[in-house]
Amino acid sequence: MNINLLEKVTGWIVTLSVTALFFSVPTISQDEDEDAAELGAIEITGSRLKQTDIETAQPVTVITREEIELSGFETVAQVLQNTP
């Protein structure tokens, strides 16, 4: 019976130690943030920002009848697939 009780007590000690370690880690990392330097304003630019089509210019490619005939393709799909 004493061995079984010793195993339970040891298990509880290990569990409590791991739990205490788990909760102490965030406080350690918070101390490191105090030394962080402050940054100035950050400006973000990019084409993947959500905008409506009215706000931005859209690229336009003009394909003339002559270019279509000279391309040798048989369907409009083939012409569009091979347009740069």
How far apart CA 35 and CA 44 sit, in angstroms, is 25
Domain positions in the chain? 1-32
DSSP annotation string for the chain:
-HHHHHHHHHHHHHHHHHHHHHHHHHHHHHHHHTTPPPP-------TTS---TTTS--------HHHHHHHT-SSHHHHHHT--
Q: For the segment 7-47, what is each residue's pLDDT rounded down to a tens digit? A: 888 888 888 888 877 776 655 555 555 566 677 787 767 66
Q: For the segment 7-18, what is each residue's pLDDT rounded down to a tens digit? A: 888 888 888 888
Query: How high is the mean pLDDT of the chain?
Result: 76
